[in-house]
Structure 1
Amino acid sequence: MTQPPHDEPTAASPEELREQVERTRHELGETVEALADKADVKARAQETAAQVKEQTAAKAAELTEQVKAKAAEAAHLVQEKLPDPVKAKAEQAQQLWHDQAPRPLRDNSAKLIAGGAALVVVCLLLRRKKGK
């Protein structure tokens, strides 16, 4: 027969021996379960992919908010620096747009205006760089 492990004393009674066997079975079951989890590469890859997807979505939302804030700030700066005649023309164009643009375009006008404002900012920055 084999000798008992050195870290556990020998069972003094059959009941103690049964408890030791049950404890050993339980520990062995946990070990097998842990090894099976580690061996399940597909499940681990899916968990990792889900975590990466969640982190990416959070970062995208954060960056979207930052871009919106910067765009609003840039639009405000551009609007402050525009000469009065240009502001008047812009207001006329806005009224004309509101009066004559098809409804689907008007409904998305905030996106179009933001894109136009970004285009104006880029043009002004490029013009400034060429002037230096």
Structure 2
Amino acid sequence: MNDRPRPGAPASEMLAPAELCENVERTPDELGRTVEALAAKAQPSEKTAVMKQQTAEKASLIADQFREKAGRAAKLVRDTTDPVLETTAQVWDGATRAGQYAADKTPDPLLETAGRAATVARRNRTPLLVAGAVIITLVLVRRSRGRRR
């Protein structure tokens, strides 16, 4: 590990001048690397700052990608829903016109009778709902018996 001769060592252990020059040239480089390694270990805040910056850059990149994808999705939804909204508006207008036409052509006595029936139904919702449930149950039971045969 240590290439230096011990003090008082015999002459055979003494280094040649070329080896001595080589050791002298190599020592500052080794010392410099050792100092750099120790400095890196002694200053973890620099590593932390670098890691923090890298993490912030990655987070920014991911956020940009997310915004881009969200923008594309919003555009796709807008492009898809615009024709649907137009079609819905056209259907709604047609239904409104048909309802108005039916109301205009319906005789007044029939409108009065329908109005009274609606008023009675609003007052007696519970019996009306029970009657509807009974009718639906009867229809379903009858259909299931018809399939068994």
Higher-RCO chain (CA-CA 8 Å, sequence separation at least 6): 1
* Counterparts in 2 of 1:29 and 1:11: CA distance versus 1, 3 Å: farther
* Counterparts in 2 of 1:49 and 1:11: CA distance versus 1, 3 Å: farther
Relative to the length of structure 1, the TM-score reads 0.53
1:46 aligns with: 49
- In structure 1, the gaps of 5 or more residues are 88-132
Once the 2 structures are TM-superposed, how far is the Cα of residue 64 of structure 1 from its aligned partner? 0.5
CA deviation profile, 1:84-115 (whole Å, cap 9, x unmatched): 4738xxxxxxxxxxxxxxxxxxxxxxxxxxxx
- In structure 2, the gaps of 5 or more residues are 5-12, 91-149
Percent pairwise identity: 30
Amino acid corresponding to residue 3 of structure 2 in structure 1: P
Amino acid corresponding to residue 56 of structure 2 in structure 1: K
Relative to the length of structure 2, the TM-score reads 0.47
CA deviation profile, 1:14-50 (whole Å, cap 9, x unmatched): 2430221220231121122122112211111110110
Q: 2:32 aligns with which of 23, 29, 52?
A: 29
Which of the two has higher C-alpha Rg? Answer: 2
2:72 aligns with: 69
* Counterparts in 2 of 1:20 and 1:76: CA distance versus 1, 3 Å: same
**Count of aligned pairs:** 82
Amino acid corresponding to residue 34 of structure 1 in structure 2: A
